[in-house]
Amino acid sequence: MAVQRRSLSQIRDEIYRICGNFDTTGTGTDTPWRSDANLYRIINDYIQRLPLRASQVIQKDLPRRPIRFDMYKTVLASGGGVGAAQFVTGVGDSLIYFPTDLDEVISIYDTSNNEPLHPIQDVARWHKDLKERAPGPPEFYEHLGYITDSGSVWRRHARLYPSTDAAQTPSLELHYWRLPARMAGSSPTTEFPDIDPKYEMLAVKGPAREILQPNDPSFDRIDRDEKELLLDLVMSGRS
């Protein structure tokens, strides 16, 4: 039997029902959020920050580090493309560019030399020898911040050490936790939230909780439903 899933249009209609039985045959102009496009943005925003929201509901004496979920664990090989979904390496280039959906690096593996790369920090202060070594196969990487690459894509990047030989292109494999994919809203009946089906109702309860006023008769029930789902989800996560 196929797994039951809720499309974006079904999620939208359920939020309409919870938040006031608005007319779902129009464009949403009679709602507090003024348009379906705005509602889709609220839904996408909520799903994208699920790790942070899940961290907020755990007890105060537990680590507040954002929780990661294996449903977003991804493996991606490097290549020369410049698209947002690419893990970009270039010939003779010591900089590598992560895909834009990167949440956190798990590991990087050099597939040419069958060796893992090790993360380091503050290279100029603690690893001066790496800066002075001759170019060669990568052994370490320093994770850096956001940068606009040559393809005008704003993404996070890293620098390889030792530096890359001018004739070589690093061949790497990235294991990482990604951010949930957004639903474009251009075809709501065939778009589905990027979440384990067991927790798909979070795409309804979470946004509805954010929309409802605290004095709304439905608020306490929706707040309780969301927290129960999040606590169950937290049990499957890793900090």
Ranges of the chain with pLDDT below 70: 1, 21-30, 59-64, 239
- What is the pLDDT at residue 23? 61
- What is the pLDDT at residue 54? 87
- What is the pLDDT at residue 100? 96
- What is the pLDDT at residue 62? 56
Q: pTM (2 decimals)?
A: 0.89
Answer whether 80's CB lies under 8 Å from 89's CB: yes
- What is the pLDDT at residue 56? 82
Q: How far is CA 75 from CA 4, 14, 117, 135, in A?
A: 27, 34, 15, 27
- What is the pLDDT at residue 80? 78
Burial of 233 (0-12, 13-18, 19+ CB in 10 A): buried
Structure-derived torsion over alpha carbons of residues 158, 161, 166, 171, reported in degrees to the nearest 10: -70
